[in-house]
Amino acid sequence: GAGVSQSPRYKVAKRGQDVALRCDPISGHVSLFWYQQALGQGPEFLTYFQNEAQLDKSGLPSDRFFAERPEGSVSTLKIQRTQQEDSAVYLCASSLGQMNEKLFFGSGTQLSVL
Amino acid sequence: DAKTTQPPSMDCAEGRAANLPCNHSTISGNEYVYWYRQIHSQGPQYIIHGLKNNETNEMASLIITEDRKSSTLILPHATLRDTAVYYCIVRDYNQGGKLIFGQGTELSVKP
């Protein structure tokens, strides 16, 4: 299908390891959002891109978290020196970017840090 | 912080209408009300949104009170596949249009 694709679907990391999570948005979508969802909680906003520009990174919990979207399409969320509290589902969403356009979400990457 | 309040859980009989309430007493004039749902192990799915008029689509109806301080999502004939967490979200385009999720309502549709 032509939905938002995230990979890997599951990731197990040892504490201290670096991880990279990939998001392929819907083709032509200008806006891209990353969310973190802990077990039993609603998704929490991490960061937002408009094309390649990162316009809002207010939700990134620490400087270990870094996101990029160099060509304005695929995005990568990188977590350095992972810790157990980073265990969560990481969701990516995209939209056309116009006012009032709905966000389409991927199925997420479930990260488990042991 | 989320600007909405929802009951944590609700039950509904299969085939009956499910009415999910949401309070958003601090909503501003340019803020839309969005509803998403999340089925286990999937990403959130868009349902419907509105500003001040009632809205209907193939999935649901959205009723917004005249003062816009609350709204109700109506699933007219709930099925077992409608079992999910339903999120009511006030979207502020001054903040780049990001969605701020609350805890949502866990709807259980029972046979």
The mean pLDDT value for B85-107 works out to: 87
> For chain A, what percent of residues have pLDDT higher than 90?
91
What residues in A contact B93, CB-CB < 8 Å? 99-100
Q: Are A15 and A103 in contact (CB under 8 A)?
A: no
Residue A108 to residue B43, Cβ atoms within 8 A: yes
What residues in A contact B87, CB-CB < 8 Å? 42
The pLDDT tens digits of the residues spanning B30-48 come to: 889 999 999 988 999 999 9
The mean pLDDT value for A70-98 works out to: 95
Looking at the predicted structure, is the pLDDT value of residue A89 above 80? yes
Distance CA A91, CA A86 (A): 13
Q: What is the pLDDT of residue B1?
A: 64
The mean pLDDT value for A86-94 works out to: 97
Distance CA B76, CA B83 (A): 14
Residue B98 to residue A48, Cβ atoms within 8 A: yes
Distance CA A68, CA B91 (A): 24
Q: What is the pLDDT of residue B95?
A: 65
The mean pLDDT value for B52-78 works out to: 95
Hey, is the C-beta of A66 within 8 angstroms of any chain B C-beta?
no
The mean pLDDT value for A40-62 works out to: 94
Rounded CA Rg of chain A? 13
